[in-house]
Amino acid sequence: MDLMEKLKILGDSAKYDASCASSGSAGRGGSFGKTAVPGLCHTWSADGRCVSLLKVLMTNKCMYHCAYCVNSALRDCPRAEFTPRELCDLTVAFYKRNYVEGLFLSSGIAVSPNRTMANMVETVRLLRAEGFGGYVHMKSIPGADRALLDEAALLCDRMSVNIELPSQKSLLALAPDKSAKAILDPMGYVAGQIFERRDPRAAHQPPPYAPAGQSTQLIVGATPESDRSILRLSEALYRKYALKRVYFSAFMPVVAHPLLPGIKQPPLLREHRLYQADWLMRFYGFSAEEILDDAHPQLDEQLDPKCAWALRNPQFFPVDVATAPLGALLRVPGIGQISARRILSARRYGGLTLEDVKRCGTVMKRAQYFITCRGRAPGIGASANTLRAALLGGASALPSFASQVSLFDPPPGAAFPQLQLVSEVPHAVQYPVSL
Ligand code: SF4
- Verify that 90 and 158 share a domain, yes or no: yes
69 lines ligand 1 (CB under 6 A): yes
Q: Which atom of ligand 1 is nearest to the CA of 60?
A: 3
Q: Which atom of ligand 1 is nearest to the CA of 107?
A: 3
202 in a structural domain? no
- Verify that 279 and 320 share a domain, yes or no: no
CA distances, 398 to each of 143, 174, 386, 401 (Å): 57, 48, 7, 9
Cis amide prior to 258 (ω within 30 degrees): no
323 in a structural domain? yes
385 in a structural domain? yes
424 in a structural domain? yes
- Verify that 73 and 147 share a domain, yes or no: yes
- Verify that 322 and 370 share a domain, yes or no: yes
Q: Which atom of ligand 1 is nearest to the CA of 62?
A: 4
The 8-class DSSP code of residue 35 comes to S
Q: Which of 13, 60, 66, 76 to mutate to test the pocket of ligand 1 (most atoms within 8 A of CB)?
A: 66
- Verify that 315 and 287 share a domain, yes or no: no
Tens place of pLDDT per residue across the chain (435 aa):
888 888 888 888 887 765 554 433 444 444 444 444 455 666 665 566 677 888 999 999 999 999 999 899 988 889 999 999 999 999 999 888 888 888 999 999 998 999 999 999 999 999 999 999 888 999 999 999 999 999 999 999 999 999 989 998 999 999 999 988 999 999 999 999 998 887 777 777 778 899 999 999 999 999 999 999 999 999 999 999 999 999 999 998 888 889 999 888 999 999 999 999 999 999 999 999 999 999 999 999 999 999 999 999 999 999 999 999 999 999 999 999 999 999 999 999 888 888 999 999 999 999 999 999 887 777 777 888 899 998 998 545 566 665 544 443 444 444 433 333 333 233 332 222 222
**Rounded distance from Cα 14 to ligand 1 centre (Å):** 11
Q: Enumerate the β-bridge partners of residue 51.
A: 43
Q: Which atom of ligand 1 is nearest to the CA of 69?
A: 8
- Verify that 259 and 340 share a domain, yes or no: no
The pTM score is 0.82
- Verify that 318 and 265 share a domain, yes or no: no
- Verify that 231 and 158 share a domain, yes or no: yes
Distance CA 380, CA 125 (A): 63
With CA atoms as reference, report the closest residue to 158 among 107, 102, 112. 102
Q: Which atom of ligand 1 is nearest to the CA of 73?
A: 5
Q: Whose CA is nearest to atom 3 of ligand 1?
A: 108
Torsion of CA 273, 275, 277, 281, to 10 degrees: 180
Ramachandran category for residue 378: left, alpha or beta (phi over 0 → left; psi -120 to 50 → alpha): alpha
**Rounded distance from Cα 87 to ligand 1 centre (Å):** 20
Q: What is the β-pairing status of strands 50-57 and 102-106? A: parallel
CATH of residue 83's domain is: 3.20.20.70
154 in a structural domain? yes
112 in a structural domain? yes
Q: Which of 16, 56, 59, 71 to mutate to test the pocket of ligand 1 (most atoms within 8 A of CB)?
A: 71
Domain count, the chain: 2
- Verify that 279 and 341 share a domain, yes or no: no
**Rounded distance from Cα 217 to ligand 1 centre (Å):** 13
- Verify that 98 and 246 share a domain, yes or no: yes
66 lines ligand 1 (CB under 6 A): yes
116 lines ligand 1 (CB under 6 A): no
Angle at which helices 3-13 and 84-96 cross, to 10°: 90
Range of the domain at 358: 311-428
Q: Edge to edge, what strands does the sheet with 40-44 contain?
A: 40-44, 50-57, 102-106, 135-139, 158-160, 214-220, 245-250
70 lines ligand 1 (CB under 6 A): no
